[in-house]
Every structure is written in C-alpha cells, then in structure tokens.
Structure 1
Amino acid sequence: MRRYLKPLLSAPLSTLALLGLWLLLQGSLAPDQVLLGAGLALAITAAAHPFWPVRQRPRRPLLIARYLWRLAVDIVIANLRIAALILSPSRHPQPAFVELPLTLTEPFALYLLATTISLTPGSLSAELSDDRRLLLLHLLDAPTPADAAAECAKIKDHYERLLLEIFP
C-alpha cells in the first residue's frame, strides 16, 4: 500500500491532472467516474513514477507567477502579430531556422523553455542538441538575420533568464 501512496504524495499534481483529464473526457462528475478516475490516475502515476527523473525544486517559486504572466501576455501579443501578418495582403512570412545558445542546464527548465517557445505563436522549438547547449528554433517570420537575433535575444531575456532564477 505504501508503494502506491508514495507517488501520490510525491507527484500530487500529476495525479490530480490525470484525474481532471479523465473527468473532462468522461464529461461527468458522477461519483463512480470520480472513483474510477482516481483509481486510474493513482495506478498510472504509481506505474510511471520509477521512470521520472528527479527534478530540482524551484529556488524561487514566487517567480513562477511572473513567468506565467509574461507567457500569457506574450501569447496574446504574438497572436495579434501573426494575425496582422496573415491578414496583410502585401506582407508574406519569411521563415527561418536559427540556433539559440542555451545557458540552462536543468532538464526540467530546458523542457519548460522549449514548451514555452512552442506555445508562443510564430516560433517553434525544433530540436535540442545532444550536448543540450543549442536549441534549434523555427521562426515564422524572420526576414533578416537581425530579426532572428532579436527574437533569440527576446527569448533569452524574457524566458531563459527567468528560468535561471527559478531553477538552480
């Protein structure tokens, strides 16, 4: 019994997220669905727990709110820019691949950075180098190398710098 409770206590957000996903997929909050979903979430979390890497705890967890706020604002702004780009009859996107040098070393922080880049419209993280020092990005509109460099500088300043403060 203790073996099944350890993942629940060490990864409660994963268990709750799986339960929430189950309930959303079922479209019901009936007691039997909640019990079945909780059992499945607990079983999946317990089965997957040995395969999860040990994650570092955030050094400054209050900065996570600032990170999420910045991400939300940037997503709205990027959506408006992409809409203007697509709706403009005279402007055509000029995509480019660029390499972003990384300072981050913590695997979970790298995952968050790559996911953040992909969530923001107009950019996509394509590949992480084997040594985890370069992230290949696809930019929807980077007509000049200066534009690509400015986008990389923005990513490093807005996201990587903050992730370096949150995670050791």
Structure 2
Amino acid sequence: MTRVARSFLPHPFLTVLLIVVWCLLANQVTLGTVVFGAILGILIPQGTAAYWPGAPRGIKAGKFVVYLLVVIWDILVANVQVAWIVLTRSNPAMRTRWVTIPLELRTPEAITILAGTITLTPGTVSADMSDEGHCLLVHALDAASPEEVRDEIKHRYERRLKEIFE
C-alpha cells in the first residue's frame, strides 16, 4: 500500500470490519447505512492510528477467514460439551484445571486474539498474562490434564495465529 493510501486507510481491515459491524448494528444494509459505516470506518482508524505505531502489516486474510471458521465451529461444539457437562455431572466429578500456556506469539494483536478466542470458547477462560507477555494463564472447566488443554490451544489456535501474523 502506498504512503498516501496508508495515511487515508491506516487499517483497511478495521475499516471493513467497522462498516460490517455498523450495518449489523443498524440491522439493515442500505446505501445510507453503508456510507455512514464507511465514514466511521475511515475516521475511527485515522483518529486512532497514532496509538497503533507497530500495527501488523500484511495479515493473511485467507488464513484469518479459516481461523474464524475454526473458532466458530469450536464455540458451537464447546457449547454442546459444556451443556452436557452441566446437565450430567455433579460438581465433584468436574476436573477443573489451571493451565499455563507458553506463548510463541509476540505481537500484542495476535496475543489479544488468542486470549479472546480462549475466553469466547465455552469451558475455558483467559485469566492472566505474564508481565513479559510470554505465558497465558487459562482456566478449563473440565479437562483430563493441563497438558492436553495446552497442546490443543497451541495446535488449534496459536499455530494458526502465527501463520496469520508472520
């Protein structure tokens, strides 16, 4: 992207996302809604660009779409699993675990997406991050072992985020 285009659209993905979110909030897709969404989508990133000096460039959109599909699927499956656990198990039978996830991700945006993904998936929640940003502390509602949870998060989410943000 050229320098002029980058100053006009400092975060093109955010611009598109804001347009879509505005249309969803307005609950209609009309010319006026899209135009107002575009105005918001241009002004908000321009107004906040100074606070994102090291924003990632060149995110792989195709891989990000695949990541979103995986997350949506995992949320649906986890909803059913958590409902089953709540309906069929008594409290003492639950195997709650605190899990430390060592991170290979270094960009704040990727770590934020990972922590959000973990929290959005029913049955797990991101509770804390180390001061250096090298580990996440995650609580799992029901897990056979902490290693199983750690390996699944690293393989299913962190690996994909590394590919998206490399």
User: TM-score by structure 1 length?
Assistant: 0.77
Name the SS of the counterpart of 2:104 in structure 1: coil
Map of 2:154 onto structure 1: 156
Q: Is the 8 A contact 2:10 2:45 kept in 1?
A: no
Relative to 1, partners in 2 of residues 1:6 and 1:75: Cα closer, same or farther, differing over 3 Å? Answer: same
Relative to 1, partners in 2 of residues 1:166 and 1:18: Cα closer, same or farther, differing over 3 Å? Answer: closer
Unaligned runs of 5+ in 2: none
One-letter identity of the residue aligned with 1:113: L
Give a deviation string over 1:64-89, Cα, whole Å, max 9, x none. Answer: 34433332332222122111101105
1:123, distance to aligned residue in structure 2 (A): 0.6
One-letter identity of the residue aligned with 2:55: V
Counterparts of 1:36 and 1:72 in 2: how far apart (Å)? Answer: 28
Name the SS of the counterpart of 2:125 in structure 1: strand
Relative to 1, partners in 2 of residues 1:16 and 1:76: Cα closer, same or farther, differing over 3 Å? Answer: same
1:93, distance to aligned residue in structure 2 (A): 3.4
Structure 1 consecutive aligned stretches of length 4 or more whose deviation exceeds 6 Å: none
Q: Is the 8 A contact 2:9 2:15 kept in 1?
A: no
Map of 1:116 onto structure 2: 117
Does 2:135 correspond to 1:134? yes
Q: In the TM superposition, what are the counterparts of 1:81-120 in structure 2 within 5 Å?
A: 81-90=81-90, 92-120=93-121
1:165, distance to aligned residue in structure 2 (A): 3.1
User: TM-score by structure 2 length?
Assistant: 0.77
Map of 2:22 onto structure 1: 22
One-letter identity of the residue aligned with 1:158: R
Q: Is the 8 A contact 1:8 1:42 kept in 2?
A: yes
Identity of aligned residues (%): 35
Counterparts of 1:74 and 1:41 in 2: how far apart (Å)? Answer: 29
Structure ID, larger Rg: 1
Relative to 1, partners in 2 of residues 1:57 and 1:4: Cα closer, same or farther, differing over 3 Å? Answer: closer
Q: Is the 8 A contact 1:4 1:46 kept in 2?
A: no
Map of 2:163 onto structure 1: 165
One-letter identity of the residue aligned with 2:139: H
Unaligned runs of 5+ in 1: none
